[in-house]
Structure 1
Amino acid sequence: MVQHRVGLIVPSSNVTVETELPALLRRQPGTEFTFHASRMRMTAVTPAGLAAMNVQRERCVIEVADTGPDVILYACLVALMAGEAGEHHRVEALIAEQLATGESRSLVRSSAGALVEAVKVLGAKRIAVVTPYLNPLAEKVVRYLEHEGVEVADFRALGVEDNREVACIPGDRVIGAARSLDLTGVDALVLSACVQMPSLDLIQQVEHEFGLPVLSAATAGAFSILRSLGIPSNIAGAGSLLASGDRHYTSAELESAR
């Protein structure tokens, strides 16, 4: 069985991405994954807190690169989407450049880029989004997605500033936010635009309820990791994005989605 190493760069207070991402990728048949994380100090999901966290990126890249990962995921979506338009392209390129100077061949992905990629691969032009953030940050996420050519028809911001509390948001609150959205003409629902807000156990249920593709930052991250490694996703019970079976996407398709 083929084994792959996944490097994660995560906020220090994040506990969900290291739960949901392994749970997803370990359902992928025929492949084993190990996970190796480095942490950036952050507890408050505010512009100041995110800026202070982002300056720790280079140290974390060096640390996680020492494990020899096949792919590295910069796992904080809002840290990039709260920045300038197209920030995930810039940060992924900077990480790749830093890795190259150390002769590392690790592939680079980000949660922000993975969500954009997944929405576009689904062919979704108009989406709805649930976020845990304060409203000003949620609005930045919406503007970021719209700059990437994705219309956000409606969104909900749950208004949680403490990143530790984001991990404790109950599922019924997430589903309630989703049910309050106007889904008229929507092609897909992003149930959690945050790798810290738990939603994995809800995705299949909500997809069945609403009859449209449902994804999250975690499922998008898993999808992007698999595709970067050339592995067709075949993960059951986590939404239609990851249940695409033997569908192979060309490198041109994936690059255009990013």
Structure 2
Amino acid sequence: MSITSSPLRPDYRAALGMITPSANLVVERVTCAILSDFPEVSAHFSRTPVFGARDLHPDDYDWDGMLGAARLLAQARPDVIVWNGSKGATLGFSADRELCRRVTEQTGIPATTSTLALEAALGSLGAHRIAVVAPYASDYQRKLVAGFEREGLEVVAEAHSGIADNLDYAAVPDAAIAGMIRAVATARPDAILAWCTNFPAAYVVDALERDLDIPILDSVTLAVWHGLHMAGRADPRGRRWGRLFDRPTQ
């Protein structure tokens, strides 16, 4: 007779519920690649409308879309629901705390976001001086830098690709991402942020960290790392995705 695992059984295999922007091509790829090192953990995805070059909700979340996606994920009873999106850095970290509060209130499931994962990682590293690499157009990049500075972080360098359309962020080549990271590394920040969950920076992090000797925090990887911690599953098996997996969370 086969035995089906259940959240009520001690041998239950963990599940992460991921909310991703609708025009995102990177979150699923990177999440599943990281979790290949954690075969007891599965990822399950739901999408909320984020696409094109114009944000229909520039100063807030699309609450109906976000909470609707969370409620759908909750039907699968994941251990954690994660907003694997980077917008909270421009809205303010408090917006993501409110998002998590609402998700948990409606679903009964703990929640986190890429931005709150970043906050935990920077705290663990004791990092205050940061550099920011992103695919964004100049106006949005300025908004992003200002958002980090409002949180008390010192942005000592930045680089961006100048792209406006959300879908096109995923097409930035590895060599261009690595070039931007190397450029901002000359400011010797405490950490370099590769910020945007549709920006495929995760694949260059490990080699560049070894070369530059600076922690590099990719927004998708952060979300997976923090979700694993909240599910009680994070450990150094994920080390090939960066030094982050050697770090505890606060």
Query: Which TM-score bucket, shorter chain as reference?
Result: 0.7 to 0.9
C-alpha displacement of 1:45: 4.7
2:89 is matched with which residue? 81
Contact 2:46 2:73 in 1 (8 A): yes
- Percent sequence identity is 25
Contact 2:100 2:110 in 1 (8 A): no
1:3 counterpart SS class? coil
Q: Distance in 1 between matches of 2:77 and 2:110?
A: 11
1:159 counterpart SS class? strand
1:154 counterpart SS class? strand
1:5 is matched with which residue? 15
Q: How many residues align?
A: 238
Q: Distance in 2 between matches of 1:230 and 1:149?
A: 30
2:228 is matched with which residue? 226
Q: Please give the TM-score of this superposition, normalised by the length of structure 2.
A: 0.86
Equivalent in 156, 161, 166 of residue 164 of structure 2: 161
C-alpha displacement of 1:195: 1.3
The residue type equivalent to 1:63 in the other structure is L
Of 151-160 and 37-46, the range deviating more from structure 2: 37-46
C-alpha displacement of 1:224: 0.7
Gaps of 5+ in 2: 1-10
Q: Distance in 2 between matches of 1:56 and 1:127?
A: 31
Q: Please give the TM-score of this superposition, normalised by the length of structure 1.
A: 0.84
Equivalent in 143, 147, 155 of residue 140 of structure 1: 143
CA RMSD of aligned residues (A): 2.1
Gaps of 5+ in 1: none
Equivalent in 178, 181, 184 of residue 184 of structure 2: 181
C-alpha displacement of 1:206: 1.0
Instruction: Determine whether 1:43 maps to 2:51.
Output: yes
The residue type equivalent to 1:22 in the other structure is C
2:81 counterpart SS class? strand
C-alpha displacement of 1:63: 0.8
1:212 counterpart SS class? coil
Q: Distance in 2 between matches of 1:219 and 1:160?
A: 22
1:216 is matched with which residue? 218
Contact 2:93 2:116 in 1 (8 A): no
Of 157-166 and 133-142, the range deviating more from structure 2: 133-142
Instruction: Determine whether 1:69 maps to 2:71.
Output: no
Q: Distance in 2 between matches of 1:84 and 1:121?
A: 20
Equivalent in 8, 15, 28 of residue 18 of structure 1: 28
1:194 is matched with which residue? 196
2:101 is matched with which residue? 93
